[in-house]
Structure 1
Amino acid sequence: MSELRERTATPVCHVVTHVHWDREWYRPFESYRARLVELVEQVCRQLDSGSLEAFHLDGQTITVRDVGDLRPDLVDEVRRHVRAGRLTIGPWHVLADNQLVSGENLVRNLLAARRHGAEIGDLTGIGYSPDAFGHPADLPRILQGFGIGTALVWRGAPPELAEFRWRSPDGSEVHAVSQRYHEAEVLWTPEGRDGRLAAFLAGEAERRPAGPWLLMNGGDHLAPRDTTGVLAEVASAVGSRVELPQSSLEAFFAAVRDSRPAPSVVDGELRRLGGPGSFLLPGTLSARVHLKQENARAERLLERIVEPLLALEQLTPATPSAAPVPDATPLDGSSVGHLRHAWELVLENAPHDSICGCSVDEVHRENSVRTDRVVQLADQLVRRALLRRGFDTRVHGAPATEAARVVVFVPPAAAGREVPVEVEVVVAPDRAVVRANAPDGTEVPIEVEDLGVRRSFEADLDLLPDSVVARVQRLRFVATGVAPGGLAVYDLRLGAFDDAGSATAAAPAGIDEEVDLGDGLQARIAADGSFSVTDAAGIRHDGLARLVDGGDRGDTYNYDPPADDRIVTAVAGDVRVRRTPVRTVVSWTATLDLPLRLDEGRDARTAESVATPVAVELAHWHGRPGLEWSARFVNSALDHRLRVHSRVRGTPSAWTSGQHFSNLARPFGPELGPLPDAANREAEIGTHPAHGYVVAGEGDRALALLLDHVSEVQGLEARPDGDAELAVTMLRSVGWLSRFDLRTRTTGAGPELPAPEAQLLRPIEARLGFLLGSDALDAFALADAADARRAGAIALQLREGTPVSAPAVGSAIEVEGAIVSALKPAEDGNGVILRVANPSPAARDAAITIAPGIDARPVRLDESPAPGELVDSSVAATGSRRVSLRLAPHATVSLRLEVAR
C-alpha cells in the first residue's frame, strides 16, 4: 500500500465495512440476538457473492458464540470466511466499558477471546475499542501484554489529534488512531451520497492531509449494503483524487504506521471532551449504582478467593496424614469449566451498555441475575476446594453444643497479618459462642451478634437433607498470623445462651459529643450527619461523610441539575455507641428531607418531600488503622443525586485515585463546567472513575477514602465559604434511558425511552474506609491497604466431627513488597499464573518466596513466555526459593509457577 501511495501520490481512504453490535441496550439480549443471527447470515451470503470483499464483525468474539447457540451451521460459515481473510473479529470477547471493570477483568476478557477465537481462526491484532465511554490509562499496557501494538479509539481521545502514541503509566505504548464520529450515513443511501462522501474526505484531509484515511462504513446494528456496488458508483464522483479500496483495519494501521511512525505522545487516560457527538457520558459511572457493586462482588469472589484457592490447590499437594471424610463424595473432577463459565457470566455484564446502567430495565434485571449466578457458583467452588483439602464446611446434623470450629482463608492479596473476619456459626438453640482460640491456642477477642433461632438446612450428594432448629450467630474477630494464601482453623467454645452476653447494649451519645473509639481516636457526630475524628496526634479531621442531595433532571448517561435546584443536607439524631472487645461502633440516623420529584416543568424540585432516614455507622476495629463508614436507606424520592462529601483541609491542587494497575492525579475543579449552547455538545462534568481508593491533602491533614467498587468521584475545588472536598456518588436516581432536553448535553445519547427502574426505588447502601494523616501518605501502602480490604478473608464453619490434619496450613508462595493482582490456574492447564504489581509512582524492591519443588518462569499477560529469565534468586535452607524483583513504577510482573516434574 505504501508503494502505491508513493507511485501515485494519491491519498488512500480505507473503507472498512463493519457493524457495531451492542449485545443488549434499548432492546434486551434475546431481541438483539435474533437480529444478530439474521445479520451474520446476510454477511456470509454477501461475502460469498462478492457484494462485500471484507467485513469486520465488531471487536468481540461473543457475537459468534451467541449466534452458535442458535445456528451452529453459521459458525461454520464464519470460520470459513475468517480463515479466508474476508472476515475479521476480536480482539476482545466483549466490548467492555473498560473503565468500570477491574484490570484482571480486562485480562480475562482478552484470554476468553483467544480461547473462543482458536475455534474460528486468527483474531484481529488491532486494539479495537472505539465506543467505550472513555479509556483508562492502563489499557495500552494490557493490549501490549497480548502483543497488540495498536488501538482504534474515539470517545475521550484528544480531538486535535488524528493519531498518537498512547502511553500507560508503566511506559507501555500503542499506536492509537482516533476515529471520527460514526459515519454510518456516508455511503448509506444514494440520495446526497456524493456530497456526504466529499464532506467526509475533506474532513479527513484536514486531519491527516496526505492520508491514509479510514471510513468505517457501518454503525450500530446495521446490516451492510452492497459495498462493492456502492464504491463502483461513487468512483466517478471522486475520480482520481482518492483511492477507495475495500480494506481491513490491519491494512489501514499498517499504512498509518508506515506513513508516520512516530506521532506525538499522549499519556494516561483518555477522558477529554471531543467534537460534536463525541460524548463521554460520565453519568454512566453512577447510573444504577447497584450494578457496579454487584460486579465488584463477583470480581472479588473470582479474582481474590476462587482462583487463588484453585491455584494453590495445584501447588500444595494434599497432606498425606489428612484423614478422608468417611461419607464424602469423591471430588476428583476438574473445575476449569466451572471457573470459565463464571467468568463468562461476569464478562457478559461488562459491555458499556450493561455495566454502565444505560439500557432498558429488562437488560439490567438480567445483569443482576447473571451476577447472582456467579455468586452461587463461586460459593460452590470455594466449598468444594476446601473439601478437597479436608475442610468440610457442610454444617449437617445435630448443632454444636460444646465446641465448634471455623476455617479461615486469607487470600494472597490480603497483605499483612491482621485481617478482619466475619463468619456465621450454627449452634444449639440454647448455646452461644463464648470464646475463640487461634490455631496456636491463644485466646482471640471476639464480637458475637445473635441472629436468633431458625431452622438450619443442609444437603448434598452424600448427605440426606436435614432441617434442624439451631441458633445462628455472627462472629467477628481479627485473624493474626495467617500467611496470605494460608488456611487456619479457629476453635470456638460454647456456653449457655443466657450467660453469653452476645447482645452488647448500645449507650446513647449526644450530637457533637466526643466518643472514644480506642487507639487514641476520638469521634464526634455533627448536626449535619457528618463526623469528625481527632487522631492520636491531636489533629482533627472534620466534615467527613457529609450527605449532600441535589436534583437530577438527567438520564442514565448524563447528570443534569435543575436550573432552580434545591440542595438538601441531613439532620443527625439518635447517636449510639456500642463497644465490644473487637470494635467500637458509633451509629446514628441522618435524616434527609428529600423533594419527592421534579416539578412538571422539570426545572425545579417539588415542594412536596419525603423524610428519608439514613442509618449510618462508623466502626473502628481495635488495633487496626482507619475507620469503616456505612450508610443504608430505602430510596423513596425521584430525580435526584446523593453524594458523600468529605472535606480536605489545606489548599490541595490535585487528588489521586487508584486505577487498574497504577494511580492517577486529577485536578480539583468546579462541580460543572459551562453549559453548551451549540448543538450536539456536552458540558464538562468533573467526575471520574476511581479504583480502590482516592486520596488528597498533605502531611497530617491527608485524607484517603477506600472504595468497595469502581466509584464516581469528583474533587470539588475550595470555595470562599469552605474547603476543597472529595465527593463520592452514592446514588443517581433518574427515569429515562436518554432525553433530548438536557442542559448538560444538547441532544440525545440514545433513544428517549422511559427507564423507571433507574430511579432505584429500593434499598441503597454505601461503604467507605477512611485513612487519615500519615496512614494515607505512602502511595504503595495506600494501594496495598485498599487491595487487602477488597480481598478480605473468607471464613466458614466446619462440620462437626470432621477430622482436620493440621490447625494451620501455609501457602506455597509468599509475596513481600508487591500487590498480588492475580493467582489463577493457567489457561493451558500447565501450572498457575502469579501476577504482582507496583501501582505506585516509585520503584520498589519486592520478593517472592516459592515453596520447594516449584519452578517459576516469567510470562506476558497473555501467559506466553516473556523474554529473559528470573535472576537474583536464592534457595533457603528449607529448600524454598526466594526471588528478588526490582519493580519499576506502576510495573506488573507475571510468572508461571509449575510443580517440578
Structure 2
Amino acid sequence: MTQSKTVHIISHTHWDREWYLPYEKHHVLLIKLMDTLIQTLRQDDGYRSFHLDGQTIILEDYLQIRPEMKETLEQLIRSGRIHIGPWYILQDEFLTSSEANVRNLLIGHRDAKTYGVISKLGYFPDSFGNMGQAPQLLRQADIENAVFGRGVKPTGFNNEVSEVQAYESPYSEMFWEAPDGSKVLGILFANWYSNGNEIPVNPEAASKYWDQKLVEAARYASTPHWLFMNGCDHQPVQTDLTDAISTAEKLYPDIRFIHSNFEDYLSDVNRTIPSDLSIIRGELRSQHTDGWSTLVNTASSRVYIKQKNQEGQTLLEKVAEPLAAFAYQAGCPYPHHLFTYAWKTLMQNHPHDSICGCSVDEVHAEMMTRFEKSKHVAESIAADSLTWLAERVDTSVFSGYGKEAVPFLLTNTTGWERSGTVTVQLELNRIYFRDGRDFRDMRQDLKDKSLDDYVLVDVDGKPIPCGLEDMGIHFGYDLPDDKFRQPYFARAVRVTFEAANVPALGYKTYALTRDASLKLLLSQTSLIVGTYAMENEYLSVQVADDGSLTVTEKLEGTVYKGLGVYENTGDIGNEYMYRQACGDTAVTTRGVPASIRIQEDTPFRASIEIVHELEIPASAEDLLDTERKELVWFTQRKSARSDTKITLKITTVVSLDKNGKRVDIASTFNNHAKDHRLRMLFPTGLDAATHYADSIFEVPERINTTTAEWKNPSNCQHQQAFVMVAGARQGLTIANRGLNEYEIVREDSGQTIAITLLRAVGELGDWGYFPTPEAQCIGEHTVHLSVIPYAVPVETNEVDPRVHGSGAIQAAHQYQIPWSVKQTEVHPGELPPIYAFGSWEGQAMVFSAMKVSEETGDMITRWYNISAQERALKIELPEKFHHAYKSDIMERRLDRLQQEGSERLSVSVRPAEIVTISFEQL
C-alpha cells in the first residue's frame, strides 16, 4: 500500500542558555541533557539523530565541563547523528546589529566546520520577529530555507494558534523573500516547535495524542510531509522515542512515521510543494495579530542592557575592526584570535532571552560583566592599532613649534567624511619614575607648569578655537614589549574643539602648541543668539519655558515645535510587554515650567541645560503585586497607579555645533519610581501615512496605522540607529544610542515620534511568576538622542525619502560612532599627516564594515543599498592591495571585478542588495 502521508519527527531541545534560571543552573542541566543524548545515541540505533538547536555555543558549553567527550561528540556529528550550526547563538535579530548578525553566522559556520558538518538550515525557532533581510543573508551563506516560529501568524498565550484566519500564508510552508528579491523556502512552526513533544508509547495514550496532533498538522500543511518537533524549551531527551514511533506505526499503518532530520524533511517537502505557495516579503513582525503577544516591548526592557550592547557592538565593528584594518594596511598583523574572543563574549549576550532583557536578574547581572570583558578586549585592539599607526604618521610638520608641541591623531572610522566637536585628553611633560626623582619635586614641577598661550593647530598651522581644561597631575604607565612597566606623572589637559572634514576611513593630525601670536588670531564668536536660543548656518534652536524645543531647518524654513517633551505613564505589564495602568493619564512636561540656563558658550559649540522636576506616582498600587503572584495575565490586570507621588528630576543638555546639522540631547535622571515608562516626544507636524526605521541591512518603510486584527492600544516598533518621518520636501530624523523602541503616535498636528527612555517593571512574565526587582531600573540613567531635520534640495528628482534624506541617515549613523584619538610625538613617518585608507562614493549606499578575512587575508569591505533602485558604488582601491572581488557575507571570493583605470572600481548594486567587496593583498 502506498503511504500518502509521512510524519517527520525531529528530536531537538530549544536551549535558552539563560532565562528563568541563571546561566550556570541551565549549564548544569545542559550537561545532563548532553550526557543522556550521547548515551541514547550509542545504545539505540533506532534513535537516528538530534537537532542541536542551530547554535554551536552548546558544544562549547558542554565541552567546558566534559572535555573528555570531545572525540565522541565529533564522531556523532560527523556520522550525522547530531546536527549542528549554522549559528553561534540564537540571537534576537532586531536588537543585534547588522554586522553582529553576520558575525553570528560566520563564527557559527567556522566552529561547525571543525566538526566536518554544518547544518545548512536557517533556524529561527523563537526569534521575537524576523529581520526582512534574513533570506538574503541566508542565500549568501548557501542556505535555501528558513524555519521560524513567530512573525506571520496570530498567536496567544504559550504560542497557541488562533482560529482567526488572518495568515499571510494559509499553509505552514511559504516562500520568504528579502527586499532584494532573494528567496528561501519558509517553514512556519504553525503548531510551535513542541508539536511532537513527549510522544506516548502506550497505545491508548498514543491514539488520543496522534488523533489530535495529526488533525492540527493537516490544517496547515501544503504537502504530505508533516513536521513534528520532538522537544521544547530545555526539554530532556525522550529516550523511549523509538518505541513511541513503533506504537504510532502500528496504530496508523497508512501513515509513515520516521525519526527524521531537517535535511531529509526539507528534501521531501521541496519535491512535493504545490504551485500556489504564498510569498511573504520583508520583515515578519506579527502585524496581523491582536498585538498583545508580539514581544516588541522587550526592546525597552532594561534599557541599560541595550545601551551597553550598542556601545559594545559599535566599538567592535565600527571602531576596532576598521582601526585594525588600517594598521594591517600599514604592516601590523591582524588579531583575528582577539576579535573572535571579543565577538563570542559579546554574542553570549545576544540570545533572545538575554539581550531582550526578559530573564531573571542574575542573568542580566552576568551580562554586564560580559559586556565589559568584550569592551576591554576591543579597546585594547583599538589602542594597539592606533599606537601602530601613530608611530608611522609623519608629524614633523609640527617640528617648528619646539619641544612643547603635542601632536595627536584624530581618526574617523565611519564611512563618510566627518566633522564635529571632539574632546581629547592629552599629557604634557611626562616625568618617569625611573628617573629617580623625589615625588614631591616631580609633582611640584608639573604643578608649576603654565598652561598660558597653548593653542591648537592643524597641519597647515591654522589655529583652531578650542577649550582647554586643566585636569591636574595624571598618573600613567607604559607597558613595553621588552621591559618592565614604566610608571610616570604628567600634567593632563582636556581639549575640546570642532574638527572639520576628517576623511572617511582615515585621520587628521593636530597638535597642541605654545604660541601666543597664534592665539591672538582666534575669533571669539558665539552660537547663542538670544535668551535660551542658539543658531548656526543650518539650524536654529529655541528653548521654551517648559523646556521643549523649537527647531528650525533653515534651508527649507521648516519649523518643528514642541520637541523633547517628556511623557510618563504607568506600566503593569512585564519584561515582555507594556501595559498601561488602568485609568492612567499620561504625566508630561508640556506646559510645566522648567529651570533653564546656558551651560556652554564657545565659538564651536553651545549647550543649554534644562531641568524638570516631574511629580509622578511612586509605583503601581498594591493590587499589582497580588495579580503578579496569582498569575493574572497582564491584559486582564486591574491595577492602577499609586496615589503616592515622588519627584523625578530630569536634567537635559541640548547642544549645537558650529557646523552641525543635528541637535544633540543628553538626558540624565535618577529613577526611584516603579512600574512606569518614560518617553520623549518629537512632534513632526508631518501628515505622513508611513515612516522609515533603521533595521538590519535596510531602512524599511512601515505603515503608521495598525491592521484590522490589532487590539493593543500600543503599537511600538524596533529600531537600530534612527527613525524618520518624511514629508514631500522635508523630514525629521531622531537618532539614538541604544534606545531600540519607538512608536509613531498620531496627534492633531501630524505624526509624533515617541522614543522610550526607560521602562520599569517587576516581573519576567510568560509561564510563571518570576520576580525581577532589578528590572525596575532603580538608579541613575543617561540617554542620548539627536534631532536631525533635513530639507530636500530643489534640484533633486528623487522621491524616496531614504535617498533625499540620506544626509540625515548618514548623520544618524555617525552619531553612533565615537572618534578615536592617539597622542604621539614629533617624528618622521611613512604615512602622511592626513590620510584615508579607502574612499568610495555611492548614492543611497550605507557603509557597514571594514575588516580582514581570516581565511584569505583579504581586506573585507561591505555596503548595502537602502533604496529601491539600482545604484553605482565607486571605490578607490586601498594601497598595498590589488585584485578586487565581489564576495559574500561568508567572505568568499566570487567574481573578480574590473577596475576603471588603475585604481577605481565601479560596482552595480541591486535595490536593497548587501554587497561585500574583498581586496587581495599584494
Please give the range of the TM-score, normalised by the shorter of the 2 chains: 0.7 to 0.9
When residues 349 and 785 of structure 1 are mapped into structure 2, their CA distance, relative to the original with a 3 A threshold, is same
Q: What does residue 606 of structure 1 align with?
A: 642
Task: Determine helix, strand or coil for the equivalent of 1:615.
Answer: strand
Which secondary structure state, in structure 1, belongs to the residue aligned with residue 791 of structure 2? helix
Cα offset for 1:445?
2.7
**Are 1:540 and 2:559 an aligned pair?**
yes
After superposition, the Cα gap between the structure-2 partners of 1:123 and 1:704, relative to the gap in structure 1 and judged at 3 Å, is same
Residue type at the aligned position of 2:341: H
63-72 or 568-577: bigger deviation: 568-577
Alignment CA distance shift 1:735-1:852 (3 Å): closer
Determine which of 805, 820, 836 is the counterpart of 1:811. 836
Is residue 2:179 matched to residue 1:169? yes
1:657 is aligned to 2:693: yes
Q: String of CA shifts for 1:738-773, please: whole Å, max 9, x gaps.
A: 1xxxxxxxxxx2431111111111221221121214
The equivalent of 1:91 in structure 2 is: 86
Match among 888, 891, 899 for residue 860 of structure 1: 888
Seq. identity, %: 26
The unaligned stretches of length 5 or more in structure 2 are 155-166, 394-401, 429-445, 625-638, 793-800
Match 1:727 to one of 749, 754, 758: 754
Q: What's the counterpart of residue 234 of structure 2?
A: 221
Give deviations 1:628-666, integer Å, cap 9, x for gaps: 112111111111001111102132111111222111112
Hey, what does 2:574 align to over in structure 1? Answer: 555
Tell me the residue number matched to 2:248. Answer: 234
Find the aligned partners of 2:730 and 2:865 in 1 and give their Cα distance: 25
Distance 1:388 1:63 in 2: 37
Worse-superposed segment, 63-72 or 842-851: 842-851
Aligned residue in 1 for 2:424 = 423
Give the drift of 1:410: 1.1
Q: Deviations over 1:163-182 (max 9, x none)?
A: 21111111111110101224
Partner SS, residue 353 of structure 1: helix
2:491 to 470, 480, 483: 470
Q: How does 1:820-831 map to 2 (within 5 A)?
A: 820-831=847-858
Match of 1:737 among 764, 767, 774: 764
- Structure 1 position 636 matched with structure 2 position 652: no
- Per-residue CA deviation, residues 473-511 of structure 1 (Å, 9 max, x unaligned), is 24232142x322223321112589xx99x9x9999999x
Map 1:293-312 → 2, pairs under 5 A = 293-312=307-326
Q: Find the aligned partners of 1:805 and 1:572 in 2 and give their Cα distance.
A: 58
Q: Given that residues 478 and 582 in structure 1 are in contact (C-alpha distance below 8 angstroms), is that contact kept between their aligned partners in structure 2? A: no
SS in 2 for 1:354: helix
1:654 & 1:27 partners in 2: Cα distance?
A: 41
Alpha carbons 1:632, 1:764 under 8 Å: kept: yes
**1:385: which partner in 2?**
385
Mean CA deviation greater in 642-651 or 827-836: 827-836
Corresponding position: 1:18 with 2:18: no
Q: Which amino acid is 1:344 matched to?
A: K
Per the alignment, do residues 188 and 13 of structure 1 end up closer, same or farther by CA in structure 2, a change over 3 Å counting? Answer: closer
Following superposition, the deviation at residue 856 of structure 1 comes to 1.0
- Alignment partner of 1:244: what SS? strand
Is the partner of 1:663 in helix, strand or coil? Answer: coil
Shift of 1:109: 0.6
Candidates 555, 568, 586, aligned match of 2:587? 568
Superposition deviation, residue 81 in structure 1: 1.1
Letter in 2 for 1:767: H
Q: Which residue of 1 aligns with 2:143?
A: 148
User: What is the 5 A alignment of 1:665-676?
Assistant: 665-669=701-705
Q: In the aligned structure 2, how far is the partner of 1:145 from the partner of 1:685?
A: 36
Change (3 A) 1:581 1:807: farther
Q: Which residue of 2 aligns with 1:364?
A: 364
Separation in structure 2 between the aligned mates of residue 890 and residue 735 of structure 1, nearest angstrom: 41
Contact 2:419–2:498, Cα closer than 8 Å, also in 1: no
Query: Do 1:187 and 1:193's aligned partners in 2 also have CA atoms closer than 8 Å?
Result: no
Tell me whether 1:870 sits opposite 2:870 in the alignment: no
Matched, 1:490 2:510: yes
Matched, 1:690 2:719: yes
* 1:897 and 2:919 correspond: yes
* TM-score, length-scaled by structure 1: 0.88
Deviations 1:23-55 (A, max 9, x none): 111111111112111111111111111152211
Task: Report if aligned partners of 1:89, 1:123 keep a CA contact under 8 Å in 2.
Answer: yes
Shift of 1:247: 0.2
Residue correspondence of structure 1 range 154-553 to structure 2 within 5 A: 154-158=149-153, 160=167, 161=169, 162-179=172-189, 180-183=191-194, 186-189=197-200, 190=202, 192-208=205-221, 210-225=223-238, 226-240=240-254, 242-260=255-273, 262=275, 263-272=277-286, 279-317=293-331, 335-391=335-391, 402-411=404-413, 413-427=414-428, 428-429=446-447, 430-432=449-451, 434-448=454-468, 450=469, 452-461=471-480, 462=483, 464-468=485-489, 470-480=491-501, 482-494=502-514, 513=531, 515-519=533-537, 521-536=539-554, 537-553=556-572
Native 8 Å contact 2:582 2:641 kept in 1: no
Letter in 2 for 1:816: E
What is the letter of the counterpart of residue 177 of structure 1? I
Give the unaligned 5+ runs of structure 1: 1-6, 318-331, 394-399, 676-682, 739-748
Aligned partners of 1:422, 1:616: CA distance in 2, in Å?
20
Q: Hey, what does 1:60 align to over in structure 2?
A: 55
> Do the aligned partners of 1:90 and 1:124 also contact (CA within 8 Å) in 2?
yes
- Aligned to 2:267, what secondary structure does the other structure show? helix
Q: Tell me the C-alpha RMSD between the 2 structures.
A: 2.9
Contact 2:607 2:656 in 1 (8 A): yes
1:846: how far off?
1.9
Q: Which amino acid aligns with 1:84?
A: S
Q: Distance in 2 between matches of 1:261 and 1:584?
A: 64
Distance 1:539 1:387, change over 3 A: closer
Query: Are 2:288 and 2:707, in contact at CA under 8 Å, matched by a contact in 1?
Result: no
For residue 312 of structure 2, what is the amino acid of its counterpart?
Answer: A
Deviates more, 1:48-57 or 1:165-174: 48-57
Is the CA contact (8 Å cut-off) linking 1:414 and 1:791 kept in structure 2? no
Contact 1:155–1:278 (Cα < 8 Å) also in 2: no
Deviation of the 1:93 alpha carbon: 0.7
- Residue in structure 2 matched with residue 29 of structure 1 by the alignment: 23
- The answer to whether the Cα contact below 8 Å between 1:669 and 1:716 also exists between their aligned partners in 2 is no
Matched, 1:41 2:42: no
Distance 2:133 2:689 in 1: 23
Q: Deviations over 1:392-427 (max 9, x none)?
A: 99xxxxxx994322211111x340243443322234
**Displacement of 1:84 after TM fit?**
0.9
CA distance in 2, matches of 1:811, 1:506: 32
Report the 3-state secondary structure (helix = DSSP H, G, I; strand = E; otherwise coil) of the residue aligned with 1:835.
strand
Q: How far off its partner does 1:278 sit?
A: 10
Counterpart-to-counterpart distance in 2, 1:519 and 1:436: 24
Q: Equivalent of 1:588, from 610, 635, 639?
A: 610
Q: Which residue of 1 aligns with 2:741?
A: 712
Inter-CA distance 888–444: structure 2 relative to 1 (3 Å threshold): farther
Q: 1:785 aligns with which of 803, 806, 811?
A: 811
Against the structure 1 CA distance between its residues 703 and 338, is the aligned structure 2 distance closer, same or farther, given a 3 Å change threshold? same
Letter in 1 for 2:84: I
Are residues 699 and 435 of structure 1, via their aligned partners in 2, closer, same or farther at CA, if it must alter by over 3 Å?
Answer: farther
Shift of residue 134, structure 1, vs aligned partner: 0.6
Secondary structure at the counterpart of residue 883 of structure 1: strand
Are the aligned partners of 2:731 and 2:805 in contact in 1 as well (CA < 8 Å)?
no
In structure 2, distance between residues paired with 1:403 and 1:219: 65
In structure 1, how many angstroms separate the alpha carbons of the residues matched to 2:687 and 2:746?
Answer: 9
TM-score computed with the length of structure 2 as normaliser: 0.86
Q: Deviations over 1:492-547 (max 9, x none)?
A: 12589xx99x9x9999999xx56132226332223443211123254321121211
Query: 2 CA distance for matches of 1:829 and 1:439?
Result: 37
Once residues 389 and 536 of structure 2 are traced to their aligned partners in structure 1, the CA distance between those partners, rounded to angstroms, is 39
